[in-house]
């Protein structure tokens, strides 16, 4: 992590920081140290883009019949630019920066800054209007790559190499989080660093089979999940014959030194962990459902990963992926329903089949019951609904990986190498996890 030096010159960042009333809880954190301007200011080109965005927004008239479209065009352009620059920073392509650290924070705080700048325009004076919501949504879509995933390179490679296996993978990741508990803006998220560093990359195995990666970054906000951001962004990549990918892997971070593939996901949300507060300072009711199932979907109260088994490799610490199979059925932990299994444990031998049945509730899944569990669950539910409705398709691979929270440079490099090797092995995978115990 770079040394924090707030003495950098930000005079050219004509910030509207004084308009604190425009900022929601998450955005207001950009005024604390290290501030949003600090992370933006580390990268001259990024700072210039934010300044250009602000100048163009402020140059527009306050009224006009075509004002919405004018604002939209600017957001389309600069939202995509900021995402691309964030990728470049994470891939260390910005050689002008005197640091070697991959960093997801400039992208995060640039997006925050752009949102506040957008709100200063008179057209968005009433944030309850649908037009205001639509413009803010477009900024989110463009700067998070919700609408920009493109597998043209995969299609071209398949055309040029008809005898090779060519697969399309989506990696999802998350914003920095945990600001309330750390009382600092310095938080980073390794899942974003890893996933975004692989965005647009081609990974080959020894036989020149290839997978092509596209990445998308989700917010740590219950509101976005409730409004269907996961489904809206990813559904077509599961159900559409033309857009369907081969695998969707959601990623997040956890404490500890081992990277886990989570076996179970639950419909439940919890609030018994001090970290389970979203970036807008929102909590949820403990043991509440994240969505409403249809009457014939009681078996979907919990789901399992369908990732390739050969993603798991033998190693220690960051070099390894282990299968995490623990779950807790009830709110109160007991030896009868709180089961913690090692990666090598056969669940059947531990009588798990009798303890965990389809239709049972599951208070905690392998990745607990926060938004990292929920992105896994929502993708899995789309998968299961699609497979039930379309008898011509028998399988779709999806699941969740929890990465270490450690963001030291050596850890980033090791975890990135581990994931690349695992994805390379997956190209010829024959055995996948499924919904059986």
Same domain, 137 and 159: no
Query: pLDDT confidence of 7, banded at 50, 70, 90?
Result: very low
pLDDT at 335 over 50: no
Query: pLDDT confidence of 33, banded at 50, 70, 90?
Result: confident
Same domain, 91 and 186: no
Give the range among 75-89, 90-104, 300-314, 382-396 with minimum mean pLDDT: 90-104
Query: pLDDT confidence of 323, banded at 50, 70, 90?
Result: confident
Same domain, 314 and 393: yes
CA distance 5 to 289: 44
Same domain, 207 and 111: no
pLDDT digits (tens, 9 = 90+) for 375-394: 999 999 999 999 999 988 99
Domain finish residue from 92, 127, 144:
144
Same domain, 140 and 156: no
Domain finish residue from 79, 109, 144:
144
Same domain, 211 and 111: no
CA distance from start to end of the chain: 43
Closest residue by Cα to residue 253 from 367, 144, 107: 367
Provide the domain limits for residue 122: 20-144
Closest residue by Cα to residue 1 from 51, 39, 41, 46: 39
pLDDT at 169 over 90: yes
| Higher-pLDDT residue of 256, 52 | 52
pLDDT score at 336: 47
Q: Are 252 and 367 in contact (CB under 8 A)?
A: yes
Query: pLDDT confidence of 2, banded at 50, 70, 90?
Result: very low
CATH code of the domain in which 196 resides: 3.40.630.20
Q: Report if residue 337 sits inside a domain.
A: yes
pLDDT score at 275: 72
CA distance 433 to 310: 10
pLDDT score at 332: 63
Domain finish residue from 118, 144, 170:
144
pLDDT at 43 over 70: yes
Q: Report if residue 55 sits inside a domain.
A: yes
pLDDT at 347 over 80: no
How many domains does the structure of the chain reveal?
2
């Amino acid at each position: 992590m770079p040394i924090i030096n707030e003495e950098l010159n930000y005079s050219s960042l004509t910030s509207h920081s004084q308009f604190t009333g425009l900022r929601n809880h998450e955005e207001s954190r950009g005024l604390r140290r290290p501030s949003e301007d600090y992370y933006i200011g580390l990268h001259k080109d990024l700072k210039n883009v934010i300044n250009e965005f602000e100048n163009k927004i402020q140059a527009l008239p306050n009224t006009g019949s075509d004002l919405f479209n004018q604002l939209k065009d600017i957001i389309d352009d600069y939202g995509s630019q900021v995402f691309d620059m964030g990728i470049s920073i994470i891939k260390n392509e910005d050689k002008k920066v005197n640091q070697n650290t991959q960093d997801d924070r400039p992208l995060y705080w640039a997006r925050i800054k752009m949102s506040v700048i957008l709100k200063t325009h008179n057209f968005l004076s009433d944030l309850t209007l649908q037009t205001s919501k639509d413009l803010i949504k477009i900024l989110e879509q463009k700067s998070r790559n919700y609408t920009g995933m493109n597998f043209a390179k995969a299609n071209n490679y398949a055309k040029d190499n008809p005898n090779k296996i060519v697969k399309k993978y989506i990696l999802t990741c998350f914003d920095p989080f945990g600001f309330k508990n750390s009382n600092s803006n310095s938080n980073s998220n390794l899942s974003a660093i890893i996933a975004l560093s692989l965005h647009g990359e081609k990974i080959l195995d020894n036989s020149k089979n290839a997978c092509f990666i596209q990445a998308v970054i989700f917010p740590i906000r219950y509101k976005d999940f409730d409004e269907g951001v996961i489904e809206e962004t990813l559904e077509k990549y599961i159900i559409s014959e033309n857009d369907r990918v081969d695998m969707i892997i959601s990623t997040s971070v956890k404490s500890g030194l081992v990277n886990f593939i989570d076996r179970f996901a639950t419909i439940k949300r919890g609030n018994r962990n001090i970290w389970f507060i979203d970036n807008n300072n929102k909590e949820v009711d403990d043991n509440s459902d994240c969505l409403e199932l249809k009457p014939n979907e009681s078996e979907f109260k919990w789901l399992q990963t369908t990732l390739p088994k050969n993603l798991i490799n033998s190693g220690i610490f960051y070099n390894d992926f282990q299968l995490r199979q623990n779950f807790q059925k009830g709110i109160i932990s007991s030896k009868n329903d709180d089961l913690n299994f090692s990666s090598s444990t056969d669940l059947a031998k531990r009588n798990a089949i009798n303890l965990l049945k389809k239709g049972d509730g599951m208070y905690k899944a392998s990745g607990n019951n926060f938004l990292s569990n929920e992105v896994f669950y929502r993708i899995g539910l789309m998968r299961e609904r699609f497979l039930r409705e379309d008898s011509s398709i028998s399988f779709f691979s999806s699941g969740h990986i929890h990465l270490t929270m450690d963001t030291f440079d050596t850890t980033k490099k090791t975890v990135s190498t581990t994931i690349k090797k695992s994805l390379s092995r997956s190209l010829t995978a024959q055995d996948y996890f499924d919904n059986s115990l």
